[in-house]
A and B are shown apart, each in its own frame.
Chain A
Amino acid sequence: MKKNNQVIKEKGMAGEKEAVGKGGREKSRRDFLKSTAAFTGGVMAFGLLKGTNALVFAAAEPASETGPWYGIGIDILKCIGCGKCAAACKKENHVPEEPWYFRSWVEKYTITKDGEVHVESPNGGINGFTETIPEEEIFKSFFVPKMCNHCYQSPCVQVCPVGASYDSPEGVVLVDEKYCIGCRYCIQACPYGCRFINPVTKSADKCTLCYHRIAEGLMPACFEVCPTGARIFGDLRDENGELHKFLQTHNVQVLKPHLNTGSKLYYNALSQEVR
């Protein structure tokens, strides 16, 4: 039965091809697949080209708006993994104490001499870190503080079905707690794992870049308490600002640039191993 069907199908295709051929335009399945592959490949290559430009929104921020346009710089070489940023974030914003709710946290990367990458973040780094791998086996080890990347083209904002997730005029990605329906779509969309459902408000929750603090001219809590100056907060429109200087004098990268999220969190000395 099956074989029969196939024969009929092939005959049908051949007939069609003949019909088209008579009209002067020969278009086989092979041609169609070729052009489709070329088109898709072209689109992907273009996306990749654009995406690898990490500084695109630092160098040329959207011109249509005025006022501050906030970005973040993190110097991995200066981070000592004290976890004060993660602790201050929880205290400032009343983030639930459980060790799986974080708006800001620190990860410790340890690359051993066999090439394995070990990532640890016990309680987000709030209670400090210990090294369980013997020192002679370690090739390289460093801390990576993580938080919302406040992307300009944030996937989390794009997928929100009700318009509860948004990009503020200052470039801060926020969630309207009163409007969020808790569908968790944004949590899946964020490639950096920066969102969670707050068990108290039942709304999607994330780093607000301490919007209530920056509105009063204060630094976000994590930047306020950082003891080594590893975190730099600033206005990307301010050409003489600290953040501009940091971006111009360091070899900065963003996380997952191929996703073209328009991340505005710039890391100095970011290793390729960091995800």
Chain B
Amino acid sequence: MKIYIPPQVKRLLLFLPFIILLFIIFRRLVIPDTFGDLGHYRAASLEDYKAREVNYAGHELCGYCHDDIAASLASDLHSTLACEGCHGPGQKHVDDPEAHNIGLTPDRAFCALCHAKLPARNPEVITQIDPAGHNPDKNCIECHNPHMPLEISE
């Protein structure tokens, strides 16, 4: 039995390779270079992430210059604290200490972020005070040295 192919379909079939070619070219143009190298994503995106700037330098760097403070910090209750946890991101200060300083003058509210009494805070993990009752007119650092909290001056 002879299959009848309409003339318009025959004409369309002539164009079929061209259409496929066009599709392949279009696909190459729209899919990024590294797409699919590691999975169903653009592998170069990982490099984009790696190139992002670091803001928190890490606690090890601070001790290279501020070895005295690092030593006193390590000797007391606050030894588990990272410098930048209180002082804020320090990468700019590491790169250019003259232009960027990250000195800190904490107020009562700052210390209360950790030390205010809350039912949710585990008393075995952190020493807590009632900010309204514990010397309310004084700033914490007038008596407590934040780097050596056990040392109290009055």
Contact surface of A with B, Cβ cutoff 8 Å: 77-78, 80-84, 88, 91-92, 108-110, 127-131, 135, 138, 141-143, 163-169, 174, 176-179, 208, 211-213, 215-216, 218-219, 221, 224-229
In the assembled complex, which residues on chain B have CB atoms less than 8 Å from the CB atom of A138?
119
Cβ distance B46 to chain A, nearest Cβ, rounded Å? 6
Query: B19-50 interface mask toward A, CB cutoff 8 Å, 1 = contact, 0 = none?
Result: 00000000000001001001111100110111
Question: Is A77 touching B122 in the complex (CB atoms < 8 A)?
Answer: yes
List 5 interface pairs A-B (beta carbons < 8 Å), by A numbering. A164-B41, A211-B46, A213-B54, A221-B55, A225-B84
User: Given B45, B51, B78, B109, which contacts A176 in the complex, CB threshold below 8 Å?
Assistant: B45
Please report whether the interface of chain A is mostly helix, strand, loop or mixed according to DSSP.
loop
Query: B74-117 interface mask toward A, CB cutoff 8 Å, 1 = contact, 0 = none?
Result: 00001011101100110000000000000000000100111010
Cβ distance B129 to chain A, nearest Cβ, rounded Å? 13
Interface size on B, residues (CB 8 A): 40
In the assembled complex, which residues on chain B have CB atoms less than 8 Å from the CB atom of A91?
55-56, 88-89
Please judge, given known A-B contacts A91-B55, A227-B81, whether A174 and B45 are in contact too, CB under 8 Å. yes
In the assembled complex, which residues on chain B have CB atoms less than 8 Å from the CB atom of A77?
122, 125
Question: Is A128 touching B56 in the complex (CB atoms < 8 A)?
Answer: no
Q: Indicate if B71 sits at the interface (CB-CB under 8 A).
A: no
User: Given B45, B46, B54, which contacts A178 in the complex, CB threshold below 8 Å?
Assistant: B45
Please judge, given known A-B contacts A82-B113, A88-B56, whether A227 and B85 are in contact too, CB under 8 Å. yes
User: Given B35, B45, B82, B126, which contacts A225 in the complex, CB threshold below 8 Å?
Assistant: B82
Question: Is A211 touching B56 in the complex (CB atoms < 8 A)?
Answer: no
Q: How far is the CA of A109 from the CA of B121 in the complex (A)?
A: 11
